Structures are given as structure tokens and as C-alpha cells.
Amino acid sequence: MSKQKQRGGFAMGLIVGLLLGLGIALGVALYVTKAPVPFVNKLPQRTAEQDAQEAERNRNWDPNAPLAGRAGAKAASGVVTPAVAPPATQPSPQITIGGTPAPAVEGRPAERAPAVQPQAQSQIPSVKPEQRPTEPRADGVRPDGSRGSFFVQAGAYARMEDAEQQRAKLAIQGFSAKVMEREQSGRTVFRVRLGPFDTRDEAEAQQKKLEGAGVEANLVAIQR
């Protein structure tokens, strides 16, 4: 009888232990599923209607268009000479002889009269040569003595969430980037940039590293 009681008590204790273990495991599972996951709920939640409005507003807008247009703007240079209209011919003054006016003599064309040529030359406005923007040298020092800062831009986005995702991808690849906010064409643009660098050589070296990692990058020079 004593052996049967011991066996029965051991079986009962085993069953109770299993039930307690299952209860604890169930509680832990419920806690894990209900608890917020780090870095997932960090960004603000957006509704589907807000995403649709944002997509409609940014359908035909390219935030990287100003960088692509800088190369074409540098090539458009030159001096435009205004066209000079030929001077008008003036009739000769009437000469009075004995109280009777003499017949008017038709004036010659202005280009044949030597007295009119200096007047035509004086009407040509002076054209000043166009002043081109000074380009920074390789050491970052411009011809006027000021220094320039160089950044490497790895993308520009209309939403903060997209810029943060790009920055996180670069951080995983070993690049230290930051998000810079700026108003452009009446809209807020979030730019992912690396830098600043003191010289153009350093910025170009960083740009080549990004392109080698499969990231499209642009070099941006800022005068200070």
C-alpha cells in the first residue's frame, strides 16, 4: 500500500508540474505577442488615405532634379550682344534765301554721312563680361580665399520615413550618414548625406565607395 501511495503521489506531482509549465509558457507567449517590438513602432503610423494623398502629390516630382540640372547650367555661358538698330535718317534743314524758303533737299542715308557715324557708335551700350562662379580647387580653397564644404548625397526623399530607411541601410553597410531637412520648391525634402569633407578628393573617394557598394551618390559643394 505504501509503494502504491508513493507512485500515486509521484504521478500527481508530475502532472501538476506539467500543467504549471504549460501555463507559464502560455503566459510568456502571450506577453511576447502583445509587447511592442523595438524599432518597429518607433516611427509614426500613417493611414492609407494619407499615403494615397502623398503619392498623388509626389507623382511627377523628382527631388533629385536640381542636382541633375547643375551640369547643364554650367555649360550655358557666353556674352550676348544686344542688336543695334540703324540710326534714322534726318531731313536737311530748309535754307531761306531772300525771304523765300528754298526747296527741301532729301537727306542722304545715315550710313553714308560721316557726321552721323560717331552718333551711331555712341549709342552702342557697353557690354560687361559675364562673371562665372568660382569653382573650388582640389584642396577646398576657392580663388577668393573662402573655403568650401563637400557632401556626398545618397538620395533625397519627400518622406522622413524613406530617408531614415536609406540611412539605416547605409549604416548596415558601414557608412555614417545623416538626414538633412530643407524646403525646396515649396516642399520639404529629406536628404541623406555623408560629410562634410574639407576637400573634393575626400568627397570623391567617399562617392566611389558608395557607388562600389551599389548606392547612387552625387557630390555637392557648398561655399562657406
List, for residues 8-45, the tens digit of each pLDDT value: 778 888 899 999 999 999 889 888 887 765 554 555 66
pLDDT for 123 beyond 80 = no
User: Per residue in 33-82, pLDDT tens?
Assistant: 877 655 545 556 678 888 788 777 777 677 776 666 665 555 454 444 55
pLDDT for 193 beyond 70 = yes
pLDDT of residue 138: 41
pLDDT of residue 78: 47
Distance CA 32, CA 103 (A): 114
Query: Domain segments of the chain: what residues?
Result: 146-223
- Please name the CATH architecture into which domain 146-223 falls: 2-Layer Sandwich (3.30)
pTM: 0.39
pLDDT of residue 25: 92
Give 162 or 127, the one with higher predicted confidence: 162
pLDDT of residue 185: 85
Distance CA 107, CA 177 (A): 77
pLDDT of residue 169: 94
Distance CA 173, CA 194 (A): 13
pLDDT of residue 68: 62
Give 212 or 89, the one with higher predicted confidence: 212
User: Per residue in 101-112, pLDDT tens?
Assistant: 545 555 555 555
pLDDT of residue 104: 52
Distance CA 174, CA 196 (A): 17
In the chain, the percentage of residues whose pLDDT exceeds 90 is 33
pLDDT of residue 121: 46
Distance CA 156, CA 188 (A): 10
Phi–psi pair at 40, nearest 5 degrees: -90, -45
Distance CA 212, CA 204 (A): 12
pLDDT of residue 37: 59
pLDDT of residue 122: 44
Residue 215's SS3 state is coil
User: Per residue in 137-179, pLDDT tens?
Assistant: 444 444 444 456 999 999 999 999 999 999 999 999 999 999 9
